[in-house]
């Protein structure tokens, strides 16, 4: 379930007027911007952008960028974008830091539904005049390149049919390939990039039943290179993305320092989808509400905005 609370009777023109007053002249009314944009869904935000442009002849996003700064500006910018454009921007930022951020590309490719991923790839074309796969391929090599490009290029079957015999066969293939770390890694790539998520979950469950531990736990213990770490991220995203995102947030908030980019990414991409479920899981695993954990680590308007998206008012 989503954490975003958006009114059904908003007026794009009135919202645009409030935002214009918030940014005109000296100083910026950040609270007014949060009050509007923090309570509007994706369709409403695009209506506001259009109304703002029609009335004031300027791009709302560019104006917001010029008025805000730091993590607050970055979070607001990514929130206002259409979801596909947002993922395109997140992917491009990750590509520029691909030595450390390839997991973000894996996350996007593995969590989104096939049709959603196709729209993101098209948005990337339009924004950067290159394909997402081309840029990823230029910054990776070997098995890692094959896996990530394969995940991005995949248009998986999205139905519920399962082949139990195939799940058994491919659970064994994954076990042997990961145990030996050579020989059949191309089979790992084939399985992860072509099978439906429903079939893959059946394979992961069969692996757990047959070998007594989860495939992701095996990889967590044995992942010694970027390829196996990427395989681990893909499996976690496909198997249970709520658990994956909870772990991302735990690492972000409980590590040394705070990874604001990771925090922003999870909150802005999941607030309209399933952030409530992720919050509940976070509390169950950490005995602290996600809002309280976030409030301890960040401050200012950035904090107010993320807490608003998390469903906590001030």
Tokens matching residue 27? 């100083």
The residue among 101 and 19 whose pLDDT is bigger is 19
- So what's the pLDDT on residue 147? 97
Q: b/e per residue, 42-75, with b = 16+ CB within 10 A?
A: bebbebbbebbeeebeeebbebbeebbeebbbbb
Residue boundaries of the structural domains of the chain: 84-241, 242-309
Please name which of 236, 239, 238 lies closest in space to residue 250, comparing C-alpha atoms: 236
State residue 25's pLDDT score: 77
How far CA 55 is from CA of 35, 37, 60, 73, in Å, comes to 21, 18, 11, 23
* CA dist., res. 144 & res. 141, Å (int): 6
Residue 179 has a pLDDT of 82
| pLDDT(314) > 60 | no
CATH code that applies to domain 84-241: 1.10.220.10
Closest CA to 303 of 34, 3, 6, 19: 34
With CA atoms as reference, report the closest residue to 120 among 100, 136, 101: 136
Instruction: List, in order, residues 6 or more apart from 62 with CB less than 8 Å away.
Output: none
How does pLDDT run across 35-90, given as a tens digit for each residue?
Answer: 999 999 999 999 999 999 999 999 999 999 999 999 999 999 999 999 999 999 99
Classify 242-309 by CATH class. mainly alpha
pLDDT, tens digit (0-9, with 9 covering 90-100), for 128-140:
999 999 999 999 9
DSSP for 111-152?
A: HS-HHHHHHHHHHHHHHHSS-HHHHHHHT--HHHHHHHHHHH
Give CA angle at 228 (136, 146), nearest 5°.
35
pLDDT digits (tens, 9 = 90+) for 238-257: 999 999 999 999 999 987 66
User: What are the distances in angstroms from CA 157 to CA 112, 113, 194, 203?
Assistant: 13, 10, 8, 15
Q: Read off the pLDDT of each residue in 163-170 and give the average, rounded to a whole number.
A: 98
Number of neighbouring beta carbons within 10 Å of residue 130: 12
- 184 or 300: which carries more pLDDT confidence? 300
- Tabulate helix, strand, coil % of the chain (nearest 5): 75, 0, 25
**What confidence tier does 120 reach under pLDDT thresholds 50, 70, 90?**
very high
> Would 84-241 and 242-309 be classified into the same CATH topology?
yes
> Using CA atoms, how far apart are residues 258 and 304, in angstroms rounded to an integer?
16
> What is the C-alpha separation between 117 and 149, in angstroms, rounded?
13
Residue 40 per-residue DSSP state: -
The CA R_g of the chain, rounded to the nearest whole Å, is: 21
Mean pLDDT, the chain, integer: 94
Predicted TM-score (pTM) of the model is 0.94
Instruction: State the average pLDDT over residues 149-154.
Output: 97
């Amino acid at each position: 379930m989503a954490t975003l609370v958006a009114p059904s009777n908003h007026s794009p023109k009135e919202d645009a007027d409030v935002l214009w007053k918030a940014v005109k002249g000296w100083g910026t009314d950040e609270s007014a911007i949060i009050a509007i944009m923090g309570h509007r869904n994706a369709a409403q935000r695009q209506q506001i952008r259009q109304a703002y442009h029609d009335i004031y002849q300027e791009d709302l996003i560019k104006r917001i960028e010029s008025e805000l700064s730091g993590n607050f500006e970055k979070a607001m910018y990514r929130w206002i974008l259409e979801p596909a454009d947002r993922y395109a921007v997140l992917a491009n930022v990750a590509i520029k830091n691909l030595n450390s951020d390839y997991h973000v590309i894996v996350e996007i490719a593995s969590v989104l539904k096939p049709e959603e991923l196709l729209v993101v790839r098209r948005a990337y074309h339009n924004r950067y005049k290159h394909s997402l796969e081309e840029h990823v391929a230029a910054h990776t090599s070997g098995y890692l390149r094959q896996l990530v490009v394969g995940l991005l290029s995949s248009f998986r079957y999205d139905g519920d049919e399962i082949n139990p015999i195939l799940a058994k066969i491919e659970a064994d293939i994954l076990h042997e390939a990961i145990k030996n770390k050579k020989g059949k890694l191309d089979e790992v790539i084939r399985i992860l990039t072509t099978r439906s998520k429903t079939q893959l979950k059946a394979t992961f469950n069969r692996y757990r039943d047959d070998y007594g531990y989860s495939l992701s736990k095996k990889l967590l213990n044995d992942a010694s290179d970027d390829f196996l770490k990427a395989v681990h991220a893909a499996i976690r995203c496909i198997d249970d993305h709520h658990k994956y995102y909870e772990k991302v947030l735990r690492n972000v908030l409980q590590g040394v320092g705070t990874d604001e980019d990771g925090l922003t990414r999870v909150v802005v991409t999941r607030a309209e989808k399933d952030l409530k479920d992720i919050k509940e899981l976070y509390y169950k695993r950490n005995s602290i509400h996600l809002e309280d954990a976030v409030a301890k680590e960040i401050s200012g308007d950035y904090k107010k905005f993320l807490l608003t998206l998390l469903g906590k008012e001030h």
